[in-house]
Amino acid sequence: MTGHIALLCGIVLFSILAVLAKDLIKAAISLAVASLLLGILFFLMGAPYAGVFEISVVAGLITVLFMLTIALTKTGGDVRESKAVRIAFPVFFIAFIVIDILVMASLLPKIHVLAGGTETGTFGDVLWKQRTFDLVGQLAVILAGVFAVLALFRKRDKDE
């Protein structure tokens, strides 16, 4: 349990660093570390497939994409932001944590979590035989993302 809590604290810490870091590379690395810790947490909580995806895709592949993009586009490097953001974010975050602890402390003991239902099975069974429609939806999300990139990074035509 202590290990779980330590990992959760690490995830929160590196997530905050990812938001606050002025250097984009440091922000991307912080995010990757947070994802890595989350992946380890998934393993410890008995969800190895989620852990593998989290570490390979989020901590690995996406971080590589971030690095490549930063390397290809970096000119000035640091992100400029107002001082108000640096003050407001920690205040908001502390308020959120306090509210979260208070709500969850009263709520969690009253949630009776069931030990598995009708939708359990092996990873392959769940993904391909029970949740096929999710894959269609996720393909659509990816497709929408691709079109968004095509539209937002397009070259303006001469007649525009």
8 Å CB contact between 15 and 34: yes
Residue tagged 């290809």 (tokens): 72
Helix (H) or strand (E) holding 159: none
Beta carbons of 74 and 28 less than 8 angstroms apart = no
Closer of 2 and 84 to another protein (Cβ): 84
1 is a contact residue toward another protein (CB under 8 A): no
Residue 140, interface with another protein (CB under 8 A)?
yes
In angstroms, rounded to a whole number, what is the distance separating the alpha carbons of residues 47 and 54?
Answer: 11
Q: Is 113 in the site for another protein (CB under 8 A)?
A: yes
Q: How far is the CB of 106 from another protein (least distance, A)?
A: 8
Q: What are the backbone angles phi and psi of residue 73, rounded to the nearest 5°? A: -110, -10
CB atoms near residue 133 (< 10 Å):
8
Q: Which of these ranges, 47-55, 56-64, 89-97, 136-144, lies near another protein under the rule CB under 8 A?
A: 136-144
Of 71 and 137, CB closest to another protein: 137
Is 137 one of the binding residues for another protein (CB under 8 A)?
A: yes
Tokens of 54: 């989290």
- The one-letter code for the residue type at 42 is F
Residue 81 is a binding residue for another protein (CB under 8 A) = no
Residues in contact with another protein by the rule CB under 8 A: 103, 106-107, 110-114, 116-120, 128-134, 136-138, 140-141, 143-145, 147-148, 150-152, 154, 156-157, 159-160
